[in-house]
Structure 1
Amino acid sequence: MTRTQYYVAASLDGYIADAEGRLDWLFQFNDVEGVTEHYQKFLAGVGALAMGAATYEFVLGEKLESWPYAGIPTWVFTHRELPRFPGADIRFTAEDVGAVHEQMVRAAGGKNIWLVGGGNLVAQFARRGLLDELLLGVMPVVLGGGIPLLPTRLSGVLELKDLTRFGRGALELRYELPRGAGGSSV
């Protein structure tokens, strides 16, 4: 069954990027034993991606030689004209997440949907009751401000399904959202 997952890393104080939108604080954990293998296993279960314009522009700004999500159809939610990444299966849309979610489920072919990047897009999925899991990497860093993990309230209590410990104090918490756990603007 296809699950819609928000797989993201955050600081201890709940920010996914610093006040300038940078991720330097996170990249220092890339070499922690087991993290790369864990990510690759997660990615192997992904059949479709969704990201907002800011996340897509961040990926473009990394000046990568190849699209990091090769072979995975990617929906970029935007109201602006954006350049295409050569060779990537990118589908730009300004449609409502509910309508696009059905397309993503079909394209995922039984694999999962990964909501990549910022919490604003994820909040739209959550408000529509379309978010099944939160896979939260918690990094032992306090940023004191920045881009919040999820700028919406989720109704109900999330159920902790798994906890993975990595070196240097990094954790991953896997939460399942209660059915119908739509959010509200905060």
Structure 2
Amino acid sequence: MTRTIFHTATTLDGYLATTDDALDWLFAVPGSDEAEAAFGGFLSGVGALVMGSATYEWLLRHERLLDEPEKWAGFYGTRPTFVFSSRSLPPVPGADIRLVSGGVQAQWESIRDAAAGGDVWIVGGGDLAGQFIDAGVLDEIRLSVAPVTLGSGKPLLPRVLGADRLTLVDAKRAGQFVELVYAVGGTSEA
């Protein structure tokens, strides 16, 4: 059964990135290798990826994917990737990039079908993950909390989500990170 999972890193004060979408804070944390060690197991269960335009554009810039498109397959394989955007963006050559617009509910059936029984990974950002919550199709939130504060930036999840909707499933230390997994209640297979 397809699950939808928001798997991301966050600062201690709940930000995904700086106001200008930088992630330097994440790469500066010592011991990130230990936090990344279990990621391959997670990725092996993923059938499709979803991200917002800011996340996609950051990947294009940071990894120079238009100049070195082979890096995409090294990171994500051949998985279909849905990029929610209201504007035209360049596709990574050779990657299965599907630019979509509109609401999550309108795209959900295509995303679920593309996952072919695997999980759907919401790569980022926080508002897009919130839209999946609003649509009732987010099953799990996986956070790697870094020992960093930014004071401001792109919020982890700009939604009100009460404790009655979240159940702690797992918590463990990975280097300098704390990894938290929450089941999200009130979801449905729309």
**Same fold (TM > 0.5):** yes
Provide the C-alpha distance between the structure 2 equivalents of 1:30 and 1:100, rounded to a whole number of angstroms: 38
Q: Structure 1 residues 30 and 42, CA, compared in 2 at 3 Å: closer, same or farther?
A: farther
Aligned to 2:60: 60
| Amino acid in structure 2 at the alignment position of 1:161 | V
Q: CA RMSD in A?
A: 1.6
Whether the aligned pair in 2 keeps the contact of 1:4 and 1:115 (CA below 8 Å) is yes
Provide the C-alpha distance between the structure 1 equivalents of 2:102 and 2:20, rounded to a whole number of angstroms: 28
Task: State the shift of 1:106 in Å.
Answer: 1.3
Whether the aligned pair in 1 keeps the contact of 2:78 and 2:96 (CA below 8 Å) is yes
| Amino acid in structure 2 at the alignment position of 1:79 | S
Aligned to 2:174: 166
Which residue among 92, 99, 124 is the counterpart of 1:85? 92
Task: State the shift of 1:33 in Å.
Answer: 4.2
The answer to which structure has the higher helix fraction is: 2
Aligned residue runs from structure 1 range 33-44, under 5 A: 33-44=33-44
| Amino acid in structure 2 at the alignment position of 1:105 | R
Q: Structure 1 residues 44 and 29, CA, compared in 2 at 3 Å: closer, same or farther?
A: farther
Q: TM-score, normalised by structure 2?
A: 0.89
Provide the C-alpha distance between the structure 2 equivalents of 1:126 and 1:138, rounded to a whole number of angstroms: 20
Task: State the shift of 1:79 in Å.
Answer: 1.1
Aligned to 1:27: 27
Check if 1:95 corresponds to 2:102.
yes
Check if 1:69 corresponds to 2:61.
no
| Amino acid in structure 2 at the alignment position of 1:80 | R
Q: Which runs of 5+ in 2 are unaligned?
A: none
Task: State the shift of 1:36 in Å.
Answer: 2.5
Aligned to 1:184: none
Task: State the shift of 1:167 in Å.
Answer: 1.4
Aligned to 1:135: 142
Q: Which runs of 5+ in 1 are unaligned?
A: 182-186
Task: State the shift of 1:8 in Å.
Answer: 0.7
Task: State the shift of 1:100 in Å.
Answer: 1.3
Whether the aligned pair in 2 keeps the contact of 1:30 and 1:36 (CA below 8 Å) is no
Q: Structure 1 residues 157 and 95, CA, compared in 2 at 3 Å: closer, same or farther?
A: closer
Moved more, 25-34 or 153-162: 25-34
